[in-house]
Amino acid sequence: MPHQSHRRSSTVSIVSGLRLSGQHVNPEVSELTLLKEEPHTGDHFLSPTQLEVVYRTNVKNGLTENFAQELLLHHGPNQLKKLKGNSYWKIFRHNLFGWFQCVLWLGALLNFIGFFFSEKIDSGGDGHSGKDYLYLGCVITATIVGTGLFGFYQEAKNMAVMSGFEKLVPPNATVIREGLKKVIPNNEIVIGDIVEMSGGEVVPADVRILTCNNFKTDMSSLTGESEPIKHRPECTNTNPLESKNMVFFGCPITEGTAKGIVIATGELTQMGKIAGLVTGLEKEETPIAKEITHFIKLICGVAFTFGLLFFIMVYFIQHSWLAALQYMLGIILANVPEGLIVTLTVCMTLSANQLKKKNCLAKTLQAVETLGSTSCICSDKTGTLTENQMNVSHLFCNYTIYDKSDHAHVSDHAYATLSLAASLNLKATFAHDSMNLPIEKRKIIGDASESAILRYMEINRSATTARAENPKEAEIPFSSAYKYQVTIHRMKATQSYYLIMKGAPEIILEFCIKILTNEEDQPMTPQAKKELKANFIKLANMGERVIGYCDYILSLDNYPLGYKFDTQLRNFPVENLRFLGAISMIDPPRRDIDKSIALCRQAGIRVIMVTGDHPVTALAISKQCGTITQPTAYDYAFEHHIDLSDVPVHIKQQFRAAVITGDELRKMSVNDLKSAQMKYDEITFARTSPQQKLIIVETYQALSHVVAVTGDGVNDSPALKKADIGIAMGITGTEVSKQAADMILLDDNFASIVLGIQEGRRIFDNLKKTIAYTLTSNTPEMLPFVLYACLGMPLPMTLILILVVNVGTDLLPAMSLAYETSEQDIMSIPPRKPTDHLVNRVLIYMAYFQIGMIQFFAGMYAYFVIFAQSGFFPSSLIFVRKEWESPSTTVDDTLGRPWYFADRKRIERKAQTAYFVAVCWTQVSDSRPEHCQSSNCIACIDFSALDNNRHFIASNGVSRAVVNVRRLVTVPAFNLN
């Protein structure tokens, strides 16, 4: 045993080593890798006597009080660390000192420096007064703080206060210490304690069961298994999570009692490890954050390139370092898009709010865009893709499989008999307090499959009435030893006794000698048996749990009314029965889930199912949901009636879809997993542990996928946290999963994800447009300085006007672009590649050198018109800077009129105004918000089209030139008014 556990831990360390290669391995990370390891305790193999030795306890008497206190001091209390979500400070910091914000802060700082600089030296060289710098600095600061607080408010609002793991912890537990039963607070439990547990409670720690009686726990939060596990004291699996003699901290006990020995408490429990994982995991930067970083790099590059060029240019013309530096500062500031951060925040808020209306709550603003760039969705099965409720899916009788909704054969003899038998042979009942509710919503006391049958029969055959009319006389309850359940009823119709047996179909077939059909009973021949069994396998291969029924009409002669049935002595026949049929059940996929998944797949997004459930069930649900559409090795095995391991390798190689189980995963290295993920288009991961889910997500991320994880259980939360975007279910989801997630589907509707993807992609496109729009005004803001410094023309645009454009007139049109509707084919193209940037060279070139130039020319035209109308023809404006800026000289215009300083400053302001108006106006007509969407200049240029070479410019793009002409022509009209 030690050997095995050693080997496993070594492979894990290799695996984690591989996974971590290239990262900094600091102590915290290595602690995290420990948490990522699979559970490898050997306690479930040990016998109680061995356990007594290991844990220095006594199975009968428990620990001594003293030793328990000692252990409590040593290991600490049995409780989980509080799961900390994003603290408010973190959100605040993120919103005020993100990358972009830092660049803006730097800009503001430069302004303040410029202010003090120009105050001190006052060379008056660059046409800005010191005050301009001060205003600019103040406005930039105000912008950052304002938008930062706004974003903070938005995100903090969505951070509903949620309790985490602590809710899972039961308040008290029953332990045996010093031979006495005691009820102690749960956090005082120590390793080695002997605990007693019973139905309705929650497992107080990780416990190895010593004795139990019909003990069932719901391990769905750990394993994702939808049904309660029935426990046994024996070891059944090498994997402790699957071994029946282990129960885990936080799992609710559905029924039964058990006594066991505590083997782990607090942080060391499985749940504690998950909690530790969730707390310890750090998310990667969101794609949009990456994009913004990239954008900042680009814009800084552009700003500094232009600034430097300009610096050199001015230096060669004016031979003054100081003037050149000042000009450079002006140029760099002209390039900083002060207003962009406002627009970005508003755009994302708009989308987040839009999604919220569709019951999709984004906890961070950036989450929406992340969803848009998602290329892979790892979805949990239970509760996410399925309803997390067993339902009858097929009925089998008369050698035919009927669908649950197929009601054409209800009156058939066989069908009716089967239904009656199924209605009667039930332990489950409706809870009294929910009887007035519709059947679907009633609470049922009983296990999942009985509940499913009861619900189905109640809806279709009014089971309650049948059961009241035909009371149960005797019962052999289900036992795993003989795997059937027998009830005897007193039938109202015949006034005789009726025996019904239900159980695993292969087992009960052995008790039958006849088969019920619609005509008459047939004898059970080997041929018939084979056929029946084939049908059972068919059902089982659909991932369904099959329950067989057979009956025996007890003749009145032998069993008169009032006959005492003794279940111990079995004074009634349980052989030579008549086979009725079978009912199969499944946790069905949610309604329309297949459509949502088809939409995702159409949008080029892989949908991977990652579940803790059995591979066959997982495969069946995958097929129904549409995550697997191609045959797998399992199908081959089913078809050829062979074992999965017997499928020839060369055939295995051909499949494009696969089901990978947790056990297989455990044997794979990270590279194996990567190659599998690359090889198979469609994968379903079954029987995975929370840690494995995490590894799967990490490997997909390593393959450059942007991974979304949907899930509801505690077992999903590490993956939810690690994913680029974790999506939790609002109704069925546990608090832990909600806290780990970035987005919550308030109505548990998977279709919301599709909407979210659409919204996210739209945001990305619209942000592109917004950024392009905002950047275009940089050229007309920058070039005036070139004219001023190099050609000595009166300055066409001042810093203050730049500011007004950037944070004033540009804002609303830019925001209006956020309302752009999406492109028609937005959901039929693959997700953007990580190399498709928000702002790429194409966009920069277009903004700066094309549209920006148009704006510049329009502005210059307005400027010349104003000057020319006042007598300064363009020729008289060149190389006049020195005279122009000197207050004591006069400047002659083309008509020979000398202009005083005050007068020419007035005309300069008029020309600046004209330039400004022209730029604003061209800017506005770039987006033309008064016309409805998609007819505007920036918007009609489909940037994704540029990237994908689909079509260059959307139909309306052609009108750009026309607009330009009109613009140039109408600008004078503007000025004349």
Binding stretches for other proteins (CB under 8 A): 375, 601-602, 604-606, 629-630, 656, 678, 681, 703-705, 828, 830-831, 833, 841, 849-850, 853-854, 857, 860-861, 864-865, 868-871, 873-874, 888-890, 894-900, 902-903, 906-907, 910, 961, 964-965, 968-969, 972
Q: How far is the CB of 862 from other proteins (least distance, A)?
A: 10
Cβ proximity to other proteins, 46 vs 608, nearer residue:
608
Nearest approach in angstroms of CB 902 to other proteins is 7
Nearer residue to other proteins within complex by CB, 811 or 891: 891
Cβ contacts of 866 within 8 Å, gap of 6 or more? 907, 910, 911, 914, 975
**Helix residue ranges, H only, 37-169:** 48-55, 65-75, 88-96, 99-121, 130-158
> Which of 744, 738, 391, 395 lies closest to 591, judged by CA?
391
Say if residues 886 and 851 touch (Cβ distance below 8 Å): no
Pick from 735, 727, 750: which is nearest to 160 by CA? 735
Of 215 and 899, which CB lies nearer to other proteins in the complex structure?
A: 899
Residue among 529 and 656 whose Cβ is closer to other proteins: 656
Distance CA 923, CA 774 (A): 9
Instruction: Give least dist CB 49 to other proteins, A.
Output: 53
CA distance 685 to 692: 9
> Does residue 777 sit in helix, strand or coil?
coil
Q: What whole-number distance in Å separates Cα of residue 528 and Cα of residue 535?
A: 11
Q: Are 343 and 818 in contact (CB under 8 A)?
A: yes
* CA 960 distance to own-chain centroid: 41
- Terminal Cα distance for the chain, rounded: 94
Given 126, 193, 206, 380, which residue is catalytic? 380
Q: Rounded to 5 degrees, what are φ and ψ at 971?
A: -60, -45
Least distance to other proteins from the beta carbon of 957, Å? 14
CA distance 729 to 749: 8
Q: Residue 743: which of 700, 707, 709, 695 has the closest Cα?
A: 709
* Phi/psi of residue 81, nearest 5 degrees: -65, 145
Nearer to other proteins, 472 or 601 (CB): 601
Structure-block tokens of residue 577: 């029965």
Cβ 681 to other proteins shortest distance, Å: 5
Question: Which among 22, 135, 128, 189 is positioned nearest to 807, based on CA atoms?
Answer: 135
Q: What is the largest distance, in Å, between two alpha-carbon atoms of the chain?
A: 135
Closest by Cα among 727, 737, 688, 691 to 707: 727
Residue carrying structure tokens 């848009």: 372
Tell me the angle at which helices 340-357 and 751-776 cross, rounded to the nearest 10 degrees.
160
Amino acid sitting at position 93: R
What is the nearest approach in angstroms of other proteins to the Cβ of residue 873? 7
Choice between 468 and 895, CB closer to other proteins: 895
Read out DSSP for 680-697?
A: -SEEEEES--HHHHHHHH
Smallest gap from residue 828 Cβ to other proteins (A): 8
Measure the CA angle with vertex 733, ends 729 and 734; round to 5°.
Answer: 150
CA-based R_g, the chain, Å = 37
Indicate the SS3 state at residue 812.
helix
Smallest gap, in angstroms, from Cβ of residue 32 to other proteins?
Answer: 23
CA 560 to CA 567: how far, in whole Å? 17
Q: Which is nearer to other proteins, 19 or 614 (CB)?
A: 19
Is residue 903 annotated as part of the catalytic site, yes or no? no
Residue 209: beta bridge partners? 260
Q: Which is nearer to other proteins, 158 or 684 (CB)?
A: 684
Q: Which is nearer to other proteins, 24 or 564 (CB)?
A: 24
Tokens of 133: 């710098």
Q: CB of 840: closest distance to other proteins in angstroms?
A: 12
- Residue 861 CB, shortest distance to other proteins, in Å, is 5
- Least Å distance between CB 700 and other proteins? 9
In Å, how far from its chain's centre is CA 974?
52
Would you say 498 or 857 has its CB closer to other proteins? Answer: 857
**625 vs 818 by CB, closer to other proteins:** 625
2-20 and 670-679 helices, crossing angle to 10°: 60
Q: Which tokens hold the place of 697? A: 């997500």
Residues forming the active site = 380
